[in-house]
Amino acid sequence: MKTIKNLLAEYNCDALLLTDGYNIHYNSGYAGHEGYMLVTKDKTRILTDSRYTEQAGIEAPDCEIVDIGLDGYAKTVKRLLEESTLKTEDKKLVIGFENKHISYEAYKKLADTIGDQAELIELGDSVNKLRMVKCAEEIEKLARAEAIGDEAFSHICTVLKPGMTEREVALALEVKMRQLGATGLSFDTIAASGEHSSLPHAVPTDKQLARGEFLTMDFGCVYEGYCSDMTRTVFTGSKDEISDEQKKVYDTVLLAQTESLKHIRPGVSCKEVDKVARDIIAKAGYDGFFGHGLGHGVGLYIHEEPRLSQKCDEILQVGHVVTCEPGIYLPGKFGVRIEDMVVVTEDGYRNLASSPKELLYIS
Ligand SMILES: [Mn+2]
């Protein structure tokens, strides 16, 4: 597996400076998400402040921990470069930095402070991409996180009833996930009913669940650092209360989800998988009502590479963990989304979610 040190050679750099907390976590074990990581051929250092130095020392035993004190990050990087054996009089050092994950202010400070002695080159998504292929241990954590989601979903199905508010639904899911061992949420829980379900990222409100409506629940938790993500849409009401349009939209999303899943296997491009779902939705007459990508990678962070989207040329590989979540959103009316999280295997994929996808009528 490619490691952070491989990037030093690939980019012909003397050092790499990581500023994305998830990348620092992945490459060192330090999960404080506050700090920089300076990687050279012979040493890896974590720069942070006194709130995190002890934690970093425990979590990242292979790294040298540097307290930035009152100097701040840029000056500390400058001092470390000056003390290092890398420095030669006549040649500027080449330092790769995470251009997609640094504030303009922090970049400016860095450039102003070390610009004379070092050339800063952009690493783009290269460090993020090291995280795409998950090892067995990571997959088991992701699987457990998703299983917690499954358990929370079966729990919520036993307590849902008309009159409950969206906020109560979200809270019940969250409490259940925490009781089952989650340390946090991978994102703000979505519970959107009726008209609200046409907003892909609706915020739960005090609206009560009413008969004859869809309720979309999109939720996930963090388990041992790893995220889960799943969405189910249920119908609050009985079978004879659903409209033809509601039924058609649900069936179309379900077909798009199950058919696109069948295309997930090593060697297939991300955009090909997206196209399968998108074509089914367009053919049913809902072209333009599925605005987002089909899915995304999941790991330490909820949205990772690769993306199952129209723009992503990445080829699926064994160990990629991605979501598959088509949706149809009819503004002012309703929306439906169904989402599983799967891991790519030699012969296709393993679905980490096991909750039912046939429409559940809750009354
Ligand atoms: Mn998702």
Q: List domains and CATH numbers for the chain.
A: 4-129 (3.40.350.10), 136-362 (3.90.230.10)
How far, in Å, CA of 298 to CA of 87, rounded? 39
Q: Which residue has the tokens 């292979």?
A: 62
Half-sphere exposure of 27 (CA within 13 A, CB side): 28
Question: 218 C-alpha to center of ligand 1: Å?
Answer: 8
User: Which two structure tokens, joined as six digits, stand for 175?
Assistant: 């409490």
The residues, any chain, with a CB within 8 Å of residue 299's CB and separated by 6 or more, are: 22, 26, 131, 134, 138, 142, 226, 227, 321
Burial group, residue 192, by CB count within 10 angstroms (0-12, 13-18, 19+): buried
243 Cα–ligand 1 center, Å:
27
Gap from CA of 239 to ligand 1 centroid (Å): 28
pLDDT of residue 86: 75
* Ligand 1 center–CA 89 separation, angstroms: 50
How remote is the CA of residue 145 from the centroid of ligand 1, in Å? 14
Ligand 1 centroid from CA 338, angstroms: 10
Cα 6 to ligand 1 centroid, rounded to whole Å: 30
Let me know: does 28 contact 35? Beta carbons within 8 Å: no
Report CA(17)–ligand 1 centroid distance (Å): 29
Question: For ligand 1, a single-atom ion, which residues have Cβ within 5 Å?
Answer: 229, 323
Taking the CA atoms of the chain, what radius of gyration do you get in angstroms?
23
Q: Which amino acid is at 1?
A: M
For residue 96, give every residue at least 6 positions away whose Cβ sits within 8 Å of its Cβ, in sequence order, or none.
Answer: 7, 8, 11, 13, 15, 16, 17, 120, 121, 122, 123, 126
E-assigned strand segments in 133-229: 184-185, 190-193, 213-219, 221-223, 226-227
Q: Are 117 and 15 in contact (CB under 8 A)?
A: no
> What are the angstrom distances between the C-alpha of 125 and each of 20, 71, 183?
11, 29, 28
Per residue of the chain (363 residues), what is the pLDDT tens digit? 789 999 999 999 999 999 999 999 999 999 999 999 999 998 999 999 999 999 999 999 999 999 999 999 999 999 999 888 776 667 889 999 999 999 999 999 999 999 999 999 999 999 999 999 999 999 999 999 999 999 999 999 999 988 999 999 999 999 999 999 999 999 999 999 999 999 999 999 999 999 999 999 999 999 999 999 999 999 999 999 999 999 999 999 999 999 999 999 999 999 999 999 999 999 999 999 999 999 999 999 999 999 999 999 999 999 999 999 999 999 999 999 999 999 999 999 999 999 999 999 998
Centre of ligand 1 to C-alpha 85, Å, is 45
Cβ neighbours of residue 38 closer than 8 Å, sequence gap 6 or more:
15, 16, 17, 18, 44, 45, 46, 47, 77, 80
Cβ-Cβ contacts under 8 Å for 129 (sequence gap 6 or more): 305
HSE at residue 211, side-chain half, CA atoms within 13 A, is 6
Length of the chain: 363
**Do residues 220 and 149 touch, judged by C-beta distance below 8 A?**
yes
Q: How far is the CA of 230 from the centre of ligand 1 (A)?
A: 7
pLDDT at 87: 67
Q: Tell how far the Cα of 321 is from the centroid of ligand 1, in angstroms.
A: 11
